[in-house]
A and B are shown apart, each in its own frame.
Chain A
């Protein structure tokens, strides 16, 4: 036996020849549909087998596969029957608890990853549903998937466009004006509030906007960024944030200017005042706008207006 293993020479007395042929046929039939003639030819030319293979023998092997838990399917192609193994006992299986864990992990990760990472993660789970072939798991994945309402082809195209900061024209289903063409210079995909957006400079208003991907009906044109496009006018707002000793979590358009024991001075730059305003409002009493003066004035007026809403109670 040791001799056999060292020399790699084949001695049929020292191996299960039927077991070996079982492996070959299993492998062939999981690859895809094979006719009896395909199998016969393969066995006749296989260096370690080189023997004739009858239809009856093939049937005996297929009966063994079925007994072992394989599902064999047959189709007719040009008058010839072809067989393949559609299911086998070695497919990955998940217990109830493992299914729950996969979904729990998925839901946690989508709250912590970037949009690109979320898309990759979702793809993986979709692939696993094919490998695992468990209807319950497929249902759980479909309920949890953050991309369930997205057109995956459009998501793929947008990902490509964002990587090259391409200028695109899309048919966008606006809630106000219906389907209309919008031109934009793509920046990146973002996942926020359970929705996927493409962050882009909209050419109509010349400012950064988050466009809902699910509202993009079609990408009509993709081209390199037109150099003549006037760049969007940017605003920088500086604010002080009460941090209570924690490290402030900055977004991409923010810079840390100063960090004290329990505060930070941060600048936020963008061409869409609306987003800057939202970001600062969300911090509540922890945030104090420092400059520019004009923005600060509008911000305070807005706060007062919000407060007046409750004065009549």
Chain B
């Protein structure tokens, strides 16, 4: 017969866990903390006395609890994480990046996670973190600092989901216009770009924010889903055909009779795609659609014209 084990527990232990749970949130409200020690048998005065006893237990154990404007903050909690200097530098980069790419609402929620993480630093990690705080090299927002206002502006456009008419400068300072639905802000190779989908030509445009001259927000909401962006088919030859790694927005239609790899690209800014295909030199050629082939020809003609 299996021996029945006791299911007895101690109430003080449970209360200690409740108190710690509140302190692990980073900021524990005095009322919530006091509530742990109140029940029908305990008067508010006694609850206060009990709270002080538990706070003293924490202190003797080595946990520092500070009260500021009816909020408790704890340091040196018992269950902690250790991070190296390199890991803390990565956390710093995450924090810096969150300032740039998250909306205000998402940022507030994300900060709670960072706060919860920092509360769990062990003493060694806290020490390293203090020394790192002044390290400005970790702040890559430097690259985008002049564009912060534009980030906020475009975040709002994306949220509003209204059609935008964007005037920007393309290559050779040529003025260009695109009308479409703003989809996302992208940060790539230390450049900030807005992704716009134009329903008319079914193309995606990645426009560097620094190139944008003016924006007109149409009152028209964009209800149409983004679908069927222009598919560009290109072929690759030689070693590149064997070595090419398909991008997430690409698929292969296999090898043609001449041994060329046929690739279908569905979701890339056409301008970026054409410049990427230029890299492959004579090992690459656009197959369809005709309009994109024409664009590629035009790009090559302009490049060759530099030498005439």
Contact = CB atoms under 8 A, between A and B. Distances in A.
Interface of A: 1, 4-5, 10, 14-20, 22-24, 26-27, 30, 48, 56, 59-61, 63-69, 88-95, 97-98, 101-102, 104-106, 108-109, 111-113, 117, 120-121, 123-124, 127, 131, 175-176, 193-195, 242, 244-246, 249, 262, 277-278, 281-288, 296, 300, 302-307, 309-310, 313
Interface in B141-158: 143
Interface of B is mostly: helix
A195 B281 contact: no
Contacts, number: 250
Given A94-B113, A121-B94, A284-B275, 5 more contacts: A15-B57, A24-B61, A60-B10, A193-B245, A194-B247
Top 6 nearest A-B pairs (CB, nearest first) are: A64-B13, A68-B17, A285-B302, A18-B12, A15-B56, A63-B9
A205 to B, nearest CB: 14
Interface stretch (B95-103, B128-136, B159-167, B220-228): B95-103
A3 B285 CA distance: 84
A296 B112 CA distance: 56
A64 B299 CA distance: 73
B20 interface: yes
Interface in B31-69: 50, 52-54, 56-61, 63
Contacts of B217: none
14 contacts: A15-B60, A18-B12, A63-B9, A64-B9, A92-B113, A102-B110, A105-B97, A109-B94, A120-B89, A121-B90, A175-B242, A284-B275, A285-B305, A310-B286
Contact of B303 (A5, A124, A195, A285): A285
Interface stretch (B182-190, B195-203, B262-270): B182-190
A131 to B, nearest CB: 6
B208 to A, nearest CB: 8
A175 B106 contact: no
B10 A176 contact: no
Contacts of B286: 310
B219 to A, nearest CB: 30
Contacts of A120: 86-87, 89-90
Interface string B1-41: 00001111110111111101100100000000000000000
Contact of A16 (B12, B97, B248, B305): B12
- What secondary structure prevails in chain A residues at the interface with B? helix
Nearest to B53: A16
B245 A194 contact: yes
Contacts of B109: 95, 97-98, 101
B24 A244 contact: no
Nearest to B243: A175
